[in-house]
């Protein structure tokens, strides 16, 4: 009986080793040894797999081997509108082996109240990769053809229209409230647990308006199931499928909010490492394959280096503080915490 056990265990062992061997064979990548990256670099994506930030990270992961000696490994740490992932980033070793993807929420979250780390000061940006906007969409079956029509309808029927977003305090929420307050109308906001949930509800006509990232709605706009009324960036998008959408500013509303995504590291990175990473990322971002991938997702490459990113962060921080106060979002969040 003992023999049988040993035999079956050995069998398992060999089966498993075969599988492991097979897989390591698949994974074999020879890399020339350099001084800085000596082992794989982790990139933390503070949102769940499949989201816009995650896809940017995956695009980086794919193109990186051309420019970096070690692979980039993407890890998702979703939760808390990014705070869980950024907390982890801020508390990790500033040796250049742990990086993270940034989004506007990085600046927004600390404005709502004490977060574990004050991200704009605890993290330093290495590069900015892209600038994404928000598209205001409504179901194609609705009669409104432009923003003005929506505003008029809402003035006639106050508090009737609802808009969905991916969570109180999220960037989608901010854009929505900014819209409502600039246009002087009252909209009811419905929180969802993510952009795709909001999109589902919009398509099912449970909510009337939503402010979404291009990737989530591009196909539907092309197909005609959703109608895009405005984009929140300073200029129109360059993607041919989306360039017909006017901006808010063109339609008379002073809203210009973007969602910049970049790469950051915990503060205190040694300068050579920082320089090396900066250069590597710069090449990755200019790589045509990378550009293609990002543009397919409806994003726009907008490269900023470390110093410029930092300046942009401060700028955004000031702008957003004002917006959330004006629109009452800050109030609302404080209310939740009682």
Partner 1 sequence: METISLLLHGFSISILPTNLLACAIGVLIGTLVGVLPGIDTISAIALLLPFSYSMDSTAALIMFAGIYYGSKYGGSTTAILMNVPGEASAVITCLDGYPMTQKGRGGAALTVAAVGSFIAGTIGVVGLTLFAPPLAQLALAFGPPEYFSIALVGLILLTKLTGTSMLKSSLMATLGVMLGTIGLDSLSGISRFSFGIDELDRGFNLSILAMGLFGIAEIFTVMTQSTPQPKVPSLHFKDLYPTKEEFQRSSLPILRGGFIGFLIGLLPGSSATIAGFTSYALEKRCSKKPAEFGYGAIEGVAGPEAANNSVVSATMIPLLTLGLPFCGGTAILLSGFMIHGILPGPTLITQHPDLFWGLITSMYIGNLMLLVINLPLIGVFVQLLKTPLNILMPLVVLLTITGAYSINNSIMDLMWITFFGIIGFFMRRTGFNPLPLLIGLVIGPELERGLIQGLIISNGSIYSLITRPLSSAILFLGAAILLYNTVPWFDKFTKDKKKVHP
Partner 2 sequence: MTERILTLFFLLVNCTYLLYALQLTSGNLQSPKSGFLPLLTAVTALILILLIIIRQRSLKILSIAKNVDWTKFLFIIIGLFFYIIILDVIGYFAATFILLLYLFKIGDIMGWLLPFTLTVTSATLFYLLFNYYLAVPLP
Binding site for partner 2 (CB under 8 A): 2, 9, 12-13, 16-17, 19-20, 23-24, 335-338
Binding residue (CB under 8 A) for partner 1 from 41, 199, 255, 285: 199
110 contributes a contact to partner 1 by CB under 8 A:
no
Nearer to partner 1 by Cβ, of 86 and 248: the residue is 86
Kindly indicate which of the ranges 77-85, 230-238, 250-258, 276-284 contains the residues binding partner 1, using the contact rule CB under 8 A: 77-85
**Cβ 319 to partner 2 shortest distance, Å:** 27
Strands (E), 80-234: 98-102, 123-132, 135-139, 162-165, 188-191, 209-212, 226-231
Length of the chain, please? 338
Phi-psi region of 167 (alpha: psi -120 to 50; beta: other; left: phi over 0): left
Q: Which does 49 bind (CB under 5 to 8 A by kind): partner 1, partner 2, none?
A: partner 1
The 10 Å Cβ neighbour count of residue 246 is 14
Q: Do 228 and 199 touch, CB atoms closer than 8 A? A: no
Token pair listed for 322: 């004002």
Please say whether the beta carbons of 88 and 75 come within 8 A: no
List the single partner that 54 binds among partner 1, partner 2, none, CB under 5 to 8 Å by kind.
Answer: partner 1
> x/- binding map, residues 128-167, to partner 1, per CB under 8 A?
-------------------------------x--x---xx
Given partner 2, partner 1, none, residue 17, with its beta carbon under 5 to 8 Å by kind, binds: partner 2
Q: What is the DSSP string of 79-107?
A: -GGGHHHHHHHHTS-SSSSEEEEE-THHH
Cα torsion angle, 218, 222, 225, 229, sign:
positive
Q: Binding partner of residue 20 among partner 2, partner 1, none, CB under 5 to 8 Å per kind? A: partner 2
- Which partner, partner 2, partner 1, none, binds residue 26 by CB below 5 to 8 Å per kind? partner 1
């Amino acid at each position: 009986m003992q023999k049988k056990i040993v035999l079956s265990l050995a069998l398992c062992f060999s089966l498993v080793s075969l599988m492991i061997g097979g897989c390591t064979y698949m994974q074999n990548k020879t890399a020339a040894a350099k001084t800085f990256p000596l082992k794989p670099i982790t990139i933390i994506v503070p949102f769940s797999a499949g989201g816009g930030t995650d896809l940017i990270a995956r695009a980086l992961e794919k193109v990186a081997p051309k420019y970096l000696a070690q692979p980039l490994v993407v890890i998702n740490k979703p939760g808390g509108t990014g705070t869980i992932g950024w907390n982890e980033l801020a508390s990790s070793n500033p040796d250049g082996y742990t990086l993270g993807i940034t989004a506007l929420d990085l600046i927004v979250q600390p404005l709502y109240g004490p977060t574990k780390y004050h991200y704009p000061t605890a993290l330093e940006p290495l590069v900015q990769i892209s600038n994404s906007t928000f598209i205001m969409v409504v179901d194609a079956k609705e009669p409104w053809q432009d923003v003005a029509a929506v505003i008029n309808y809402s003035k006639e029927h106050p508090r009737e229209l609802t808009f969905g977003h991916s969570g109180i305090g999220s960037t989608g929420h901010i854009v929505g409230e900014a819209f409502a307050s600039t246009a002087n109308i009252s909209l009811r906001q419905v929180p969802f647990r993510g952009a795709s949930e909001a999109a589902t509800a919009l398509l099912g006509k449970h909510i009337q308006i939503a402010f979404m990232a291009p990737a989530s709605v591009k196909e539907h706009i092309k197909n005609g199931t959703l109608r895009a009324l405005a984009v929140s960036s300073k200029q129109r998008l360059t993607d041919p499928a989306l360039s017909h959408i006017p901006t808010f500013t063109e339609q008379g509303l002073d809203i210009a909010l973007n969602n910049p995504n970049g790469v950051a590291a915990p503060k205190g990175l040694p300068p050579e490492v920082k320089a090396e990473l900066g250069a590597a990322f710069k090449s990755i971002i200019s790589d045509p394959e990378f550009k293609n991938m990002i543009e397919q997702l409806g994003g726009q490459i907008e490269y900023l280096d470390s110093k410029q990113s930092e300046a942009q962060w401060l700028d955004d921080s000031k702008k957003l503080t004002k917006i959330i106060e004006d629109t009452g979002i800050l109030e609302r969040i404080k209310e939740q915490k009682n």
